[in-house]
Structure 1
Amino acid sequence: MNSKRIHFIIAGLFIVFAAVQYNDPDPWLWILIYGAVALVAIVKVYFSQVNFTPLILTLLLILLFYTFTFIPSVLDFFESSNKSDLVGKMKAEDPWIEGTREFGGLLIAIIALNYLKRSKIN
């Protein structure tokens, strides 16, 4: 599969991720995060001659530092007796559920941005 298609797949997925944030406690933040990843994926295809590495590295650093704020929630998740609550109901009844989900979303965004940083458009 060529890198342009992968970029468009990443963009499509992150547009969907952004679109389903309407019921999140902080929807605009997550729409911005996921939208930024989608935008980078699309813009990198159409402006392949531009070096996006500084932008992508900046986004990676911001998301990485933000990820650290959710480590206590992830640790609480590992200490929890009922792990199925994480993927069960969409309403977070325990405080660690939302934080662990957001940690996972940030990891997915970081992985995608890392791919976009390394990819070459053919």
Structure 2
Amino acid sequence: MSKNRKIANIVLCLIFVSFAIMQLNDPDGWLWFIIYLVVAALCLINNFRTINKGILWVTFIGLLAYSAFHFSLFIDYLQTDNKEEIFGEMVYEKPYLEGSREFLGLLLAALAIFYQIRGKKTQ
């Protein structure tokens, strides 16, 4: 594995660890903490060990499948006028905000796993 790929995996690991930590104040934070921590771990482990492609594919497909549950909320968000709301506080009257954040987080996680699948060190 190239040095650049190892550095990218470390950066991805740190990003997803920080995502995991930020979830701890959410009502369902434990779920998101686990999701992001698993992605971080897979990125880091792939620097040192060969990860079975089947595990990576199952994780990738699982993340995409879970993101599908949030897709309609993301579409609702795209149809709003005030796009900056996504960076604000959670508003219970606007479930599309949290759903959009969750959709985008799952999409980023899936992309990080896809990056691992495309790597040379996987089986």
Q: Match for 2:80: what amino acid?
A: S
Q: Match for 1:40: what amino acid?
A: L
Whether the 8 Å contact between 2:90 and 2:97 is mirrored in structure 1 is: no
Structure 2 match to 1:67: 67
Whether the 8 Å contact between 1:76 and 1:96 is mirrored in structure 2 is: yes
Structure 1 match to 2:91: 92
Give every structure 1 segment of 4 or more consecutive aligned residues whose post-TM-superposition deviation is greater than 4 Å: none
Shift of 1:51: 4.0
TM-score, normalisation: structure 1? 0.89
Whether the 8 Å contact between 1:44 and 1:52 is mirrored in structure 2 is: no
Change (3 A) 1:78 1:51: closer
Q: Match for 1:91: what amino acid?
A: M
TM-score, normalisation: structure 2? 0.88
Whether the 8 Å contact between 1:3 and 1:120 is mirrored in structure 2 is: no
Structural RMSD (CA):
1.4
Structure 2 match to 1:77: 77
Structure 1 match to 2:38: 36
For residues 113 and 100 of structure 2, the distance between their equivalents in structure 1, rounded to whole angstroms, comes to: 20
For residues 91 and 38 of structure 1, the distance between their equivalents in structure 2, rounded to whole angstroms, comes to: 25
Name structure 2 gaps, 5 residues minimum: none
Shift of 1:120: 2.4
For residues 4 and 51 of structure 1, the distance between their equivalents in structure 2, rounded to whole angstroms, comes to: 14
